[in-house]
Amino acid sequence: MELGVLDTAAAVACMADWLFGLLPEPTGVAHPTACVLSSDGAYRTLRIEPRTPKSLHDLFALHLQRARADVIVTTGAILRAEPEARYGLETSPWAKGLSAYRARLGKGTPLVAVLSRKELDAKHPAIHEPRIQVWGPRATPGVAHRPFDGRPSDAVQALRVEGLVVVEAGPTVTEGLHAADAVDALFLTTFEGEVDDVLLAGSAFDIEGLSTRLAPVAPPRRVAEPSGSWKFCAYRRR
């Protein structure tokens, strides 16, 4: 199934079902991630940089989770690595359909929660999201601040009261979330080609522990893209 215009809620839902199967309810904590299964059996996160293999379907998968989210959790490290990062649906190639899909779910404007021990760059475009809050020991002028000096998993658990928390963070955060059994749904994109080790970050989660906590929603969906073969699979709490 090819990604087309996707300008209606129904078209977005159809693509989501084709890619992942029947989606879990938009509650709890969800972790979307793009990885490579390395030779040592670990799912290692793909770094975000120009040489990293790209997938349009993976981009849709990420934007789909943003459309479902009540809270999007990111980190100061990601904002520093991605100086143009934005989280609103208006930046998506499928903005119209995703916005309609979000409206059908009855969702309002999501909160962007940034976990950071450092002050953020006030010129970063993400600072201007309609709802943004920095969780950490240091405030950023002009940005709502939640004083926090604990573990990322504690912050994520506290944010669950807002609704669906979508975690867009690197392995230093996500591995701890999985270890703490704080993830209710995993949306895993796996690139099946060869990747230079310099394009790989740490292990996204413990694969052995994953199967005891989460079960696949449907068989994996493989998609051929110009960059190579990609596999998509959603998991939800058993």
Cβ partners under 8 Å of residue 136, min gap 6:
76, 114, 115, 116, 117, 118, 145, 147, 148, 149
pLDDT of amino acid 37: 83
Q: Percentage of residues in the chain with pLDDT exceeding 70?
A: 98
pLDDT of amino acid 216: 93
pLDDT of amino acid 5: 85
Question: In the chain, which stretches have pLDDT less than 50?
Answer: none
pLDDT of amino acid 129: 93
Long-range contacts of 136-139 (CB under 8 A, 24+ apart): 136/76
- Model pTM? 0.94
- pLDDT tens-digit series, residues 19-52: 999 998 889 999 999 999 877 778 889 988 889 9
pLDDT of amino acid 210: 80
pLDDT of amino acid 24: 84
pLDDT of amino acid 161: 96
pLDDT of amino acid 49: 84
pLDDT of amino acid 54: 94
Domains and CATH numbers, the chain: 26-237 (3.40.430.10)
pLDDT of amino acid 197: 85
